[in-house]
Amino acid sequence: MGIQNLIWQVTKKAFTGGIIGITISDRFCGVVPVRGDSMSPTFNPQRDSYLDDYVLVDKFCLKDYKFARGDVVVFSSPTHYRERYIKRIVGMPGEWISSSEDVIRVPEGHCWVEGDNRAFSLDSRTFGPIPLGLIRGRVTRVVWPPQRLSKIGG
């Protein structure tokens, strides 16, 4: 049965590729699409473009959770358990953030995130500071489309 053998070989290769791919994207770096324009103009600067930006997410930072103000991070939503957002850290623990009426202190182990496009962003101004433990990686580069290849941060 040549076909059966072929299918088995292909499945084995796919399985191996899958495990290696998942391990690399969990521990080293992964590529994710950016949906929405809450981080405009850093990502998805044109509203009606059909191409979403794809960014490289570095996972080495998750070893010690060392982040700094200005990092763009991917984090799991504190309110919708299946969703992930990409926003920028604008406040680290202990810092003070001024919102509309008052001044808020970012608690220990948390951070304040905001989208670059303040008018269209659902972020800490709505759901408050997020625990650093929700962060799933730091965005370092834009990798697609090729004309927007760039380094974020520096």
Partner 1 sequence: MRWLRYLNQWRGTAKEAFEQVSIVAKFLCLIHLTDRYIISSTHVQGPSMLPTLNLTGDVILAEHLSHRFGKIGLGDIVLVRSPTDPTRMVTKRVLGLEGHRLSFSADPLAGDGSVSVVVPKGHVWIQGDNLYASTDSRNFGPVPYNLIEGKALLRVWPPRFFGSLR
One residue of 19, 31, 51, 68 binding partner 1 per CB under 8 A: 19
CA dihedral 114, 133, 137, 95 (to 10 degrees): 40
Mask for 47-76, x = binds partner 1 (CB under 8 A) = -----------------xx----------x
**14: exposed, middle or buried (Cβ count in 10 Å: 0-12, 13-18, 19+):** exposed
Could you say which of 12, 25, 38, 66 is catalytic? 38
66 catalytic residue (yes or no)? no
Task: Confirm or reject binding of residue 95 to partner 1 (CB under 8 A).
Answer: no
Which residues, in sequence order, are bridge partners of residue 138?
58, 73
> Pairing mode, if any, of strands 103-105 and 96-98?
antiparallel
Contact 57, 29 (CB under 8 A): yes
Task: Confirm or reject binding of residue 126 to partner 1 (CB under 8 A).
Answer: no
According to CB under 8 A, which residues from 74 to 93 bind partner 1? 76-81
- Binding-site residue total for partner 1 (CB under 8 A)? 25
Could you say which of 13, 63, 87, 100 is catalytic? 87
One residue of 33, 94, 109, 153 binding partner 1 per CB under 8 A: 109
Go through 107-137 and write b for each residue having 16 or more CB atoms within 10 A of its CB, e for each that does not. Answer: eeebbbbbbbbeeebebbbeeebbebebbbb
38 catalytic residue (yes or no)? yes
Q: Which residues bind partner 1 (CB under 8 A)?
A: 16, 19-20, 22-23, 26-27, 64-65, 76-81, 107-110, 130-135
